Structure 1
């Protein structure tokens, strides 16, 4: 058993009963090939929750500061996370993210870049669109429907892969692709309230 699988089992056994997590649409995740998994961001626990509910291991971009925290830094490193510098274009993180997708793995992103204060889906950053356009990966929208309150139901909904062919063919901008992804997340939230 890998460390990732072990950690997933441990966290799942704590979070599933605590937040009464309901998983919807896990079958929408392609079983193989690169997947860009994009979710809304409402809480610090979103990365572990997406990680334990996704049917495949997820590689997350994580803010660089986490990697310098004793113990936590080593932990996130062993959980397939890699650092990204916030507030600037981080070429190394972009290269690493593309490599994850090209190797046929799942790259998890929270396109808003920061947590929503009111639970509403905010504007996404162009990075999600960049990854979607620069690779031939599947793009799977995911909605985390809270709140994170003990013994209240938390729902994680994986949508069907977004059709990217037309956007890629007409060379849509990264911003337009990100907006498309965020709109899909909003639609999932609306239909799963």
Structure 2
């Protein structure tokens, strides 16, 4: 058994009962092909929660600082996570993300770039729009609606893929595309 499925089942066995995770909208998640999965970011536990609730393996982009810790670096590399230098256009990370999508995999992003301090949806960074417009991947919004409190319900809602055809044809900016993605995440939170 490879490390990812084993770790996923162990983590799911801990997180699902602890936070009573309720998953909605899995029927919207494409069964194959590249998927850009964009979700809000309210806790350090968001990546494992998305990892155990998504129906396909999710490869994440994570802040470079996490890769400075040797044990954590090894673990992240084993899960297919790759580093991004925050605060500027990290071309290597952008290329790596496009490669993930082109190969038909799922790229998980937190467009806000950092955790929300107050739980409210923040402004998205243009990277999400870049990946959405520069690839042919399906763009799936996702909302984690919590609190992360033991034995209270945490909801993970997967939305319908955004119809990208019109946006790609209009050649809108990456900032505009990110705003559209953030609006879709916001609608899932409001529901």
- TM > 0.5: yes
Query: How far apart, CA to CA, are the structure 2 residues paired with 1:184 and 1:153?
Result: 22
- Deviation, 1:27, is 1.6
Structure 2 alignment gaps of length 5 or more? none
Q: Does 1:113 align with 2:116?
A: no
User: What TM-score do the two structures reach when normalised by structure 2?
Assistant: 0.99
CA RMSD, 1 decimal: 0.6
Q: Which residue of 2 aligns with 1:59?
A: 59
Cα shift readout 1:69-101 (whole Å, capped 9, x = no counterpart): 131111111111001111111000000000000
2:30 alignment counterpart: 30
Query: 2:139 and 2:123 mapped to 1: Cα distance?
Result: 17
**Aligned mates of 1:76, 1:15 — CA distance in 2:** 19
1:139: which partner in 2?
139
In 2, Cα distance between equivalents of 1:88 and 1:123: 16
**CA displacement 1:104-155 (0-9 Å, x = unmatched):** 0000000000111111111100000000000010000000001101111000
- Structure 1: 4+ residue segments shifted above 2 A: none
* Number of matched pairs: 191
Q: Deviations over 1:158-178 (max 9, x none)?
A: 000001111100101001110
The aligned residue for residue 165 of structure 1 is 165
Q: Distance in 2 between matches of 1:29 and 1:7?
A: 22
